[in-house]
Amino acid sequence: MQLLVFALVAAAFANVYITQPVLPVLQQEFGVSASRASLTMSAVIFGMALANLPFGALADMVAVRWLILSGGLMVAISGLICALTRDFWLLVAARWLQGLFVPALTTCLAAYLAANVPPARLNVVMGSYVSATVAGGLGGRLLGGFIHPPLHWRYAFVTAAVGVLAATLPAVLRLPAGHRPRRTMTAHGFRQILADARTFRLLLVPFGAFFVFSSSFNYLPFYLAGPPFFASTQVITLFYLTYLMGIIIGPLAGRLSNRIGNGRAMMAGAAVFALALLATLVPIMLVIVLALLGICLGFFTIHAAAAGALNRLITSSQGKANSLYVLFYYLGGALGITLNGAAYNHLGWPGVVGVGILTLLLPGSIGWVEQQEE
């Protein structure tokens, strides 16, 4: 089951991040600005945010196999549209459509794990789930900017579409049925979940963390492509190998949270994240690499701790709770990319760094409050 889940989540996230390393290529090919080229990322993330609540509700009502099948087919079809279109706005629309169906493969699986995994192992399993998102995110970036030549980014969409279908079919056929889903809406609704102060507070943690993380990695290609680095797309893509840190830190962060508490883990992650972000201002390639490792270390520590804390707190309606978690997560990502577009246009990379450090005060302060109550 763990192998099936890992493969499916990784294949889904590979489709999400294909265009990120080739944003300067898209900027030139379609003749658009940096912020407009970034719509190919923010559109898919915004689609994921919109669809999480409906799929979260469905996860509490419908067998997970049918949700996975619909999601896998639609993500693959939308990816093929991205590969074929010559119209920029159709590309953005197809990316948005991909985002709408990614939650069928991710949010629904998170709810499935929360409902079927013993509580004693939940933090570690959620850390492994986070690792799968990391593997997929890295794989998509490598597909778009390194494995396929950057100017042939369309072939990356074809490869990712084949990959998600190859992961979907075994999952549909072999994933254990688990607990029978509820077929009525008797469980807590979204409003009841949000009305709980501690739950709402925990939902703000992924919002703030991904706000900073998504915008940092989204505007990194533009930063490195300009002076004083003038790095090629292939070299820029290699910087995303630092993302591998998340595969390691996901399960370890789960164990760390068990040992020191989720709140302290969030605080530590926010501090490391902020210091690493500040270090990217040093115009030395080696320092940039080390800083990116620190960014990944800090972010995935926050992410794993917040996911573990929420799923320990929620005892019913795991589908709705996890869909709200991912909703806040991707709303933060979409807003981070959009708002930091203005910061980058006016202040360059230092503007992105400044906004990021200020935003990290949110998960850091919530971690402090959380550790007082643990």
Residue boundaries of the structural domains of the chain: 2-176+188-373
Q: What percent of the residues of the chain are helix, what percent strand, and what percent coil, each to the nearest 5?
A: 85, 0, 15
Please state whether the peptide bond connecting residue 21 to the residue before it is cis, i.e. omega within 30 degrees of 0. no
Predicted confidence (pLDDT) per residue in 243-258, tens digit: 777 677 766 776 777 7
What is the rounded CA–CA span in Å between residue 29 and residue 204?
37
**Gyration radius from the chain CA atoms:** 19
| Mean pLDDT of all residues in 151-163 | 94
Count, in order, helices (H) and strands (E) of the chain.
18, 0
Q: Has residue 184 got a pLDDT over 50?
A: no
Closest by alpha carbon to 48, among 95, 1, 113? 95
What is the rounded CA–CA span in Å between residue 150 and residue 255?
38
Which residue shows structure tokens 């197809």?
94
pLDDT confidence of residue 318: 67
Q: Which band of pLDDT confidence, cut at 50, 70 and 90, is reported for residue 187?
A: very low
Q: Which CATH class is domain 2-176+188-373?
A: mainly alpha
C-alpha distances in Å from residue 128, one per residue of 65, 86, 132, 362: 21, 38, 6, 25
Predicted confidence (pLDDT) per residue in 318-343, tens digit: 667 877 888 899 899 989 998 998 89
Backbone φ and ψ for 164, nearest 5 degrees, come out as -70, -35
C-alpha distances in Å from residue 336, one per residue of 32, 45, 213, 282, 333: 20, 11, 8, 22, 5
Predicted confidence (pLDDT) per residue in 3-45, tens digit: 787 889 999 999 999 999 999 999 999 999 888 999 999 999 9
pTM surpassing 0.75? yes
